[in-house]
């Protein structure tokens, strides 16, 4: 086969030469140290200590529960929200709302796929007690099949807990006077 060329192409006269320099000592040590460390790690960490990721998680949760206790807050006996008109709670409530609820109800509460919470139309009741029940327990897909409404809603008794739910309700009530204490 003939190849197209642009003239002489012998620029490769030099042979590549190789020296026989010694391995730098620190580098040899590093290589050996890596191997020694690995063997040590497997024996000590895995065989003697028996480390595993499952137990590490359990430990992390246990440590957390030791230092954090949940204070349960409840509705007043008459079913109204004890945090109504509490300025601190209202501020925290807004933060809660924008963090979780805004995905469906929009940051200002006027609704996206979730219903508008700033008008006077309520699908599941407009008293503190009714709202508390809906937010805490959510609305399941099955419930919607029985009684069609806007859409399902996750239960927030675990994600928020009663404290944050009541804070959020305090903010909603502060914004919308159609939400009644009882």
Q: How far is the CB of 92 from other proteins (least distance, A)?
A: 11
Tokens matching residue 141: 């897909």
By beta-carbon proximity to other proteins, the closer residue of 42 and 181 is 42
Question: Rounded to the nearest whole angstrom, what is the least distance from the CB of residue 182 to other proteins in the complex?
Answer: 28
Report in angstroms how near the CB of residue 61 gets to other proteins at its nearest: 6
Q: Which residues partner with 139 through β-bridges?
A: 153
Q: Rank residues 6 and 177 by Cβ distance to other proteins and give the closer one.
A: 6
Two structure tokens written together for 33: 């140290």
Are 170 and 176 in contact by the 8 Å Cβ rule? The answer is: no
Give the integer Cα–Cα distance in Å for 98 and 55: 35
Q: Which residue, 4 or 74, is less far from other proteins as judged by CB?
A: 4
CB of 69 to other proteins, least distance (A): 10
Distance CA 141, CA 148 (A): 10
DSSP 47-70: IIS---HHHHHHHHHHHHHHH--P
Q: How far is the CB of 88 from other proteins (least distance, A)?
A: 14
Give the nearer residue to other proteins in terms of CB position, either 53 or 146: 53
Could you list the residues that contact other proteins (CB under 8 A)? 1, 3-24, 27, 30-31, 34-35, 37-38, 41-42, 45-46, 51-54, 56-58, 60-61, 64, 67-68, 98-100, 103-104, 107, 112-114, 141, 150-156, 158-159
Q: Which is nearer to other proteins, 58 or 123 (CB)?
A: 58
φ/ψ region of 50 (left if φ > 0, alpha if ψ in -120 to 50, else beta) reads left
φ/ψ region of 43 (left if φ > 0, alpha if ψ in -120 to 50, else beta) reads alpha
């Amino acid at each position: 086969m003939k190849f197209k060329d642009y003239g002489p192409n012998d620029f490769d006269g030099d042979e590549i030469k190789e020296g026989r320099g010694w391995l730098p000592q620190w580098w040899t040590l590093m290589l050996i140290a890596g191997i020694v460390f690995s063997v040590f790690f497997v024996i000590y960490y895995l065989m003697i200590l028996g480390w595993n990721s499952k137990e590490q998680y359990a430990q992390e949760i246990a440590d957390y529960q030791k230092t954090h206790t949940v204070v349960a807050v409840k509705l007043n006996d008459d079913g109204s929200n004890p945090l109504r008109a509490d300025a601190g709670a209202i501020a925290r409530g807004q933060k809660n709302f924008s963090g979780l609820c805004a995905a469906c109800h929009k940051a200002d509460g006027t609704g996206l796929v979730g219903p508008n919470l700033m008008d006077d139309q309520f699908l599941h009741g407009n008293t503190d007690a009714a709202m508390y029940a809906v937010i805490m327990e959510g609305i399941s897909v099955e419930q919607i099949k029985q009684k069609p409404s806007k859409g399902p809603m996750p239960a927030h008794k675990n994600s928020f807990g009663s404290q944050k739910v009541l804070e959020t309700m305090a903010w909603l009530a502060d914004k919308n006077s159609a939400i009644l204490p009882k």
